[in-house]
Every structure is written in structure tokens, then in C-alpha cells.
């Protein structure tokens, strides 16, 4: 496991002044520079970020607006800036209506921080409802970031194997069908049950999802987070925390579009979209726990096949992934 990368933001720590600046900036975006009241879900997000990530006790009511230039003056560390900007980009999504004023304000912070992550451009595309353009870019980055292999041809071969599995691959299917014989509470046996209980075809069976998505399902099992809409957003928060790059936030925002804003971004009729399923306490606790993990379980270099015979409690301890009150709710 030594070659597996640690969570990208794991090393970030916050002092009281910088934590206050982050919360003040988040509140400034939520209230559009004090021109509107702080709504409930934004307040909950501020509190959850304070409690789980910044780990301070700053009263939200004491926070004043902070300009983009003043914020950049107070937050100088590059990795801190990157993480803070992702929190700011998240704020306009909370009320399910991304508007031009919010985008302009977040852009002003990004310019002051001298940052331009993909999630910032995505925010603009969501505001303009250019979801097809957003999906094309997101899919391209998913292929280059998530799929194993180096170079175009290796990744193209993997895409072809995914299509082949959807049509049916008896060898792959037999491999997963054999998991039924493993002892109860092993990761492999519970993965088998996970698919059968939901009437999902196992990888390799006809019309199955790719093995590339098995890692996501294993994270559900290891974390104890459910598979309803709230659970999908929460587990995406966990994945954003454990991610070894900023792409983890793209994964999170994709799920928020589907299950909090109801935009049918990637569900495309396969799953129902939903509205108002983001729960800030669950999301930010999951994100914080992802930051504590030893490596990214979605890393293509993680060979989950080697641990399928291991008991889930042992793996939870190894991966620092114990279920908790909010995450499993």
C-alpha cells in the first residue's frame, strides 16, 4: 500500500484566524455580502464545516463579511486556499438555485486566491444550465482521473472492457458469483449480498455496471452509509475527503446536482433525481473522516480483490472508517 496516495487535503490544518476567515467567506457567499439573511441549510453547513473540518468553536453570529482581497491576505497557504475555495464553490448549490450574483462573488474570491479549479467552471455552467457541456468535460476528466492505465490506448481498452461487461462477460461474472461462498461479514460476501438484495446484476452479468464502480459500492459497505439519495451525497462527501486530488470535489458536486438539485445530471433516467437531500452534518462528518483515511479507496492502484476475504470490522479499523451517527443515518 505504500505506493497509494494519501488524501490530497489531509495535511491541511487551520489556525483560529484562518478558520474564522474561511467561515466568514462562506457566510459572505451565503448572504451575498449581507444583502440577504443566512438560510437554515447554509447555517448548518457553516456549523458542520466549523465542527468537523476546522475544529473550532467560533459562533456563526459573530462572523462579519470579508472581502475577497482581505480573505486572500489572511489565507496564504496554497493547499488551504484550494480547500477553502472548494467550500465556497459548494455554497451556491445549497439552496438548489445557483444564480449569477453567487457565481460572480465566488469568482471574485477565486481571482484573489489566484485559483481556477474545474469546479469553478462547473459552477458557471450550472448557472447557465449548460449541463451537456458540463457532462462532456466531467466524463473526460473521469476517464483520465479514475480509470487505471497510462495513456490513451490503455484507457480506451478499459472503456471497451466496460462495454463488454455490460453485454456479459462469463469469466468476470463467475468471479463475483463465487463470493457467495465466503463467510458472513467478509467484504466479498457482503458485496455479493449488496448486489443481490438490490436486484443489481453482478459485474460481468448481462446489463451490469463496470468493475470500475465496485470501489464505490465497497465504500458504501465499509462506511455503513446507505444508498438512498441522502446516502449517495454523504458517501460522495467521504470520497471527496479521501480523494488524492481535487477531482473528489467534482464527484461530490456531480452527485449534488442529481440528488439535491434534481437536475438529472448523470442519472439520465437510470436513477431518479431528487431535491433537498443534502444533510450538512452528515456530509461534512463524512468528508472529515475521509481526510483521516490512509489512502484513497477509489485509487485505481488499490486492488480490492486482495481484501474481499477479510472481515469488514478488521478493514474498517485498518482504513480508519468506523460508521458513525450522522454518516449511517
Chosen domain end from 74, 96, 129: 129
Same domain, yes or no: 120 and 243: no
Percentage of the chain exceeding pLDDT 70 = 89
Contact 171, 177 (CB under 8 A): no
For residue 267, the model assigns a pLDDT of 58
Contact 168, 194 (CB under 8 A): no
- By the 10 Å C-beta count (0-12 exposed, 13-18 middle, 19+ buried), 311 is classed as middle
Side-chain-side CA neighbours of residue 112 (13 Å): 21
Same domain, yes or no: 120 and 184: no
Contact 279, 326 (CB under 8 A): yes
Average of per-residue pLDDT values in the chain = 90
pTM listed for this prediction = 0.92
For residue 117, the model assigns a pLDDT of 97
Mean pLDDT in residue range 73-81: 98
Answer yes or no: is 311 within a domain: yes
Taking 90 as the threshold, does the pLDDT of residue 4 lie above it?
no
Same domain, yes or no: 202 and 303: yes
First to last CA, the chain: 31
Same domain, yes or no: 158 and 262: yes
For residue 329, the model assigns a pLDDT of 46
Higher per-residue confidence, 166 vs 20: 20
Taking 70 as the threshold, does the pLDDT of residue 276 lie above it?
yes
Which DSSP state fits 311?
B
Same domain, yes or no: 21 and 81: yes
Which DSSP state fits 8?
T
Answer yes or no: is 89 within a domain: yes
Q: What range defines the domain where residue 59 resides?
A: 16-129
Same domain, yes or no: 113 and 195: no
Answer yes or no: is 226 within a domain: yes
Same domain, yes or no: 115 and 224: no
Answer yes or no: is 140 within a domain: no
For residue 168, the model assigns a pLDDT of 72
Contact 277, 259 (CB under 8 A): yes
Answer yes or no: is 125 within a domain: yes
Nearest to 102 by CA among 112, 91, 87: 91
Taking 60 as the threshold, does the pLDDT of residue 1 lie above it?
no
Same domain, yes or no: 156 and 123: no
190 to 182, 224, 326: CA distances (angstroms)? 9, 12, 22
Amino acid at each position: 500500500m505504500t505506493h497509494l496516495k494519501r488524501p490530497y487535503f489531509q495535511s491541511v490544518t487551520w489556525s483560529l484566524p484562518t478558520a474564522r476567515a474561511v467561515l466568514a467567506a462562506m457566510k459572505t457567499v451565503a448572504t451575498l455580502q449581507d444583502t440577504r439573511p443566512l438560510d437554515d441549510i447554509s447555517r448548518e453547513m457553516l456549523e458542520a464545516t466549523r465542527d468537523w473540518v476546522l475544529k473550532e468553536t467560533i459562533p456563526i453570529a459573530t462572523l462579519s463579511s470579508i472581502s475577497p482581497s482581505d480573505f486572500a491576505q489572511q489565507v496564504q497557504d496554497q493547499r488551504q486556499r484550494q480547500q477553502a475555495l472548494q467550500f465556497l464553490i459548494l455554497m451556491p448549490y445549497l439552496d438548489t438555485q445557483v444564480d449569477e450574483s453567487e457565481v460572480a462573488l465566488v469568482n471574485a474570491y477565486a481571482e484573489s486566491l489566484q485559483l481556477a479549479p474545474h469546479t469553478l467552471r462547473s459552477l458557471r455552467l450550472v448557472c447557465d444550465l449548460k449541463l451537456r457541456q458540463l457532462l462532456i468535460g466531467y466524463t473526460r476528466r473521469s476517464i483520465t482521473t479514475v480509470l487505471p492505465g497510462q495513456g490513451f490506448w490503455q484507457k480506451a481498452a478499459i472503456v471497451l472492457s466496460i462495454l463488454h461487461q455490460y453485454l456479459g462477460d462469463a469469466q468476470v461474472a463467475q468471479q463475483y458469483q463465487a463470493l457467495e461462498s465466503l463467510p458472513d461479514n467478509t467484504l466479498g460476501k457482503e458485496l455479493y449480498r449488496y448486489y443481490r438484495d438490490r436486484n443489481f446484476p453482478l459485474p460481468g452479468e448481462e446489463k451490469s455496471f463496470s468493475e470500475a464502480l465496485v470501489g464505490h459500492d465497497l465504500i458504501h459497505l465499509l462506511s455503513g452509509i446507505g444508498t438512498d439519495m441522502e446516502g449517495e451525497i454523504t458517501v460522495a462527501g467521504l470520497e471527496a475527503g479521501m480523494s488524492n486530488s481535487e477531482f473528489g470535489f467534482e464527484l461530490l458536486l456531480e452527485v449534488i446536482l442529481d440528488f439535491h438539485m434534481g437536475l438529472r445530471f448523470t442519472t439520465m433516467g437510470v436513477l431518479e433525481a431528487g431535491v433537498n437531500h443534502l444533510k450538512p452534518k452528515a456530509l461534512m462528518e463524512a468528508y472529515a473522516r475521509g481526510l483521516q483515511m490512509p489512502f484513497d479507496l477509489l485509487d485505481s492502484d488499490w486492488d480490492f480483490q486482495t481484501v474481499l476475504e477479510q472481515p469488514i470490522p478488521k478493514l474498517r479499523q485498518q482504513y480508519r472508517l468506523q460508521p458513525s451517527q450522522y454518516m449511517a443515518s
